[in-house]
């Protein structure tokens, strides 16, 4: 599977026409292209080619039943991908697209089982990114793209991590630096009477309720529990896990108390808001101000990868209120962590038990 990607630097708001044409040709001929969206980087292939989409699963080590999101650049293209859309849903979509919202539809005959994981439904979104939209347009086909990370690893919101992780697994990488939003799209199933949130994401539920009316939010979409029946296949897989143990502090107060314990400075790296990091006596990766959750969202995935590069044995992360973007932020934090601690002595005990076995066995509900 060894491939050596061509890596090109260009501005995601005004991309080079030459590079776009090269990448579009790769998509048309069945290859793999890593490109920025407004949320995270995507690993794309032609959604109309089952063979090309199979390569995505190989490159990511992704289980074959975990389906792909199809990205379109226009409503005309949406109609090639889906089988009949209610007029009132189109009306609502016009208010959120292009943007970080993914909706489930009945698929058209042009979308294969490879894309949908065998399901009759296809997830679609129109990304709000000039480069992504132009790439889809020039390719002339919708682009199926999961997040551009190896399966179970943190998603990628900065191209330098895409180059590290996928440089020898894909054909082409757009090196455009950080993405704008940093957390993936919100996924909703709008087919029932009350739309259901399948994954919290960059568009907050509060904002979506203004357009879609009531939306059902479950503990599964908060990342608190695993789904007993996987409503969306992604729910049953381990996610976002850094290679170093990450533990969630049960409250901001616990986090601040831990951050004063200088004796942990060689063992622990903290991940918290800039306000909390400022007071810390141990190394702290700042996620930005806690009053600006968009800052926190854009740095969360990179912070997991920065933690891996430190010499610390363990990371401790601060919780955020689950309002607005905080819902998606806490979902990603819970899924990436392997446990919760409540006080300094629990941290001391935990360090004694390192390295911890992989998996989420230590996680307990708040
Ligand atoms: O922001 C995003 O959504 C990014 C960018 C690249 O667009 N994409 C992304 O894709 O996060 P991925 O594959 O990492 O996550 C897609 C999620 C998975 O949990 C998958 O199970 C679910 O969407 N999904 C995709 N198609 C589905 C379908 N037909 N039915 C139910 N769930 C589906
Ligand atoms: Mg993903």
Q: Do 183 and 294 fall within a single domain?
A: no
Whether the pLDDT of residue 356 is over 70: the answer is no
Q: Is 67 in the pocket of ligand 1 (CB under 6 A)?
A: yes
Are 32 and 65 part of one and the same domain? yes
Residue 108, domain CATH = 3.90.870.10
- Say yes or no: 197 and 308 in one domain: no
Q: Whose CA is nearest to atom 18 of ligand 1?
A: 234
Which of 70-79, 218-227, 268-277, 295-304 has the weakest average pLDDT? 218-227
Are 288 and 200 members of one domain? no
Question: Considering the entire predicted model, what is its pTM?
Answer: 0.94
Res 364: pLDDT: 34
Which backbone phi and psi does 43 adopt, to 5 degrees?
-110, 100
Among 3-7, 27-31, 216-220, the range of highest mean pLDDT: 27-31
Check: CB of residue 255 under 8 Å from CB of residue 271: no
The number of distinct structural domains making up the chain is 2
Contact by Cβ (8 Å): 267, 314 = yes
What number of other Cβ atoms are within 10 A of residue 343's Cβ? 13
At 229 the pLDDT is 52
Give the per-residue pLDDT at 242: 87
Cα 341 versus chain centre, distance: 25
The closest residue, in CA terms, to atom 17 on ligand 1 is: 234
Contact 306, 320 (CB under 8 A): no
Q: What confidence tens digit (pLDDT) does each residue in 217-232 have?
A: 987 777 666 655 555 6
163 and 269 within one domain: no
Residue 274 lies in a domain: yes
**pLDDT for position 224:** 67
* Contact predicate 234/199, CB 8 Å: yes
- Cβ contacts of 164 within 8 Å, gap of 6 or more: none
> What domain range is 92 assigned to?
6-222
Mean pLDDT of 120-146: 98
- Ligand 1 center from residue 101 Cα (angstroms): 11
pLDDT digits (tens, 9 = 90+) for 235-277: 656 678 888 999 999 999 999 999 999 999 999 999 999 999 9
Distance 233 CA to ligand 2 centre (A): 11
Same domain, 177 and 290: no
Q: Is residue 236 part of a domain?
A: no
Q: Is 15 in the pocket of ligand 1 (CB under 6 A)?
A: no
pLDDT exceeds 80 at position 354: no
| Residues 87 and 182 both lie in one domain | yes
State residue 138's pLDDT score: 98
**b/e 143-179 (16+ beta carbons within 10 angstroms → b):** bbbbbbbebebbbbbbbebbeebbeebbbbbbbbebb
Nearest to 188 by CA among 308, 130, 88, 102: 102
- With a 6 Å cutoff on the Cβ, whether 124 touches ligand 1 is no
- Examine the pLDDT at 32 and tell me if it is beyond 60: yes
The answer to whether residue 237 sits within a structural domain is no
| CATH number of the domain to which 295 belongs | 3.40.50.11030
Beta carbons of 350 and 247 less than 8 angstroms apart: yes
Q: State the burial class of residue 267 (Cβ atoms within 10 Å of its Cβ: 0-12, 13-18, 19+).
A: middle
The residues, any chain, with a CB within 8 Å of residue 84's CB and separated by 6 or more, are 106
Tell whether 62 and 183 lie within a shared domain.
Answer: yes
116 lines ligand 1 (CB under 6 A): yes
| Mean pLDDT lowest among 27-36, 41-50, 212-221, 316-325 | 212-221
User: Cα–Cα distance between 315 and 273 in angstroms, integer?
Assistant: 14
pLDDT at 361 over 50: no
123 in the same domain as 208: yes
Residues 211 and 280 in one domain: no
- End-to-end, the C-alpha distance of the chain in Å comes to 43
Residue 235 located in a structural domain: no
Scan for tokens 């082409």, then name that residue.
172
Phi, psi (deg, nearest 5) at residue 158: -145, 130
Q: Are residues 162 and 37 both part of a single domain?
A: yes
Q: Which of 98, 136, 146 to mutate to test the pocket of ligand 1 (most atoms within 8 A of CB)?
A: 146
Tell me whether residue 358 is in a domain.
Answer: no
Asked if 176 and 254 sit in the same domain, the reply is no
């Amino acid at each position: 599977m060894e491939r050596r990607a061509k890596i090109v630097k260009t501005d995601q708001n005004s991309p080079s026409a030459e590079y776009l044409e090269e990448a579009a040709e790769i998509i048309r001929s069945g290859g793999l292209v890593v490109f920025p969206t407004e949320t995270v980087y995507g690993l794309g292939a032609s959604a109309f080619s089952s063979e090309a989409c199979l390569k995505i699963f190989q490159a990511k080590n992704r289980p074959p039943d975990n389906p792909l999101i199809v990205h379109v650049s226009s409503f005309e293209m949406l109609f090639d991908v889906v089988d009949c859309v209610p007029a009132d849903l189109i009306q609502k979509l016009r208010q959120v697209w292009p943007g970080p919202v993914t909706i489930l539809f009945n698929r058209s005959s042009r979308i294969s089982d490879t894309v949908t994981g065998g399901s009759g439904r296809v997830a679609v979104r129109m990304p709000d990114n000039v480069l992504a939209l132009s790439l889809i347009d020039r390719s002339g086909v919708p682009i199926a793209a999961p997040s551009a990370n190896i399966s179970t690893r943190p998603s990628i919101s900065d191209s330098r991590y895409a180059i590290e992780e996928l440089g020898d697994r894909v054909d082409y990488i757009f090196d455009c630096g950080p993405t704008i939003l940093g957390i993936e799209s919100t996924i909703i199933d709008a087919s029932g009477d009350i739309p259901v949130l399948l994954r919290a994401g960059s568009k907050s539920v509060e904002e979506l309720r203004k357009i879609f009316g009531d939306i059902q939010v479950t503990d599964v979409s908060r990342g608190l529990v695993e789904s007993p029946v996987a409503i969306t296949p992604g729910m049953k897989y381990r996610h976002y896990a850094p290679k170093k143990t990450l533990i969630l502090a049960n409250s901001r107060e616990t986090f601040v108390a831990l951050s004063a314990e200088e004796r942990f400075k060689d063992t622990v790296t903290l991940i918290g808001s800039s306000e909390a990091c400022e007071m810390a006596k141990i190394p702290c990766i700042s996620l930005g101000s806690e009053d600006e959750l968009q800052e926190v969202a854009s740095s969360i995935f990179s912070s997991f990868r920065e933690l891996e590069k430190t010499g610390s044995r363990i990371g401790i992360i601060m919780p955020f209120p689950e309002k607005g973007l905080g819902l998606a932020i806490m979902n990603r934090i819970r899924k990436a962590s392997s446990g919760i601690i409540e006080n300094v002595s629990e941290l001391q005990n935990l360090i004694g038990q390192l390295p911890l076995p992989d998996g989420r066995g230590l996680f307990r509900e708040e």
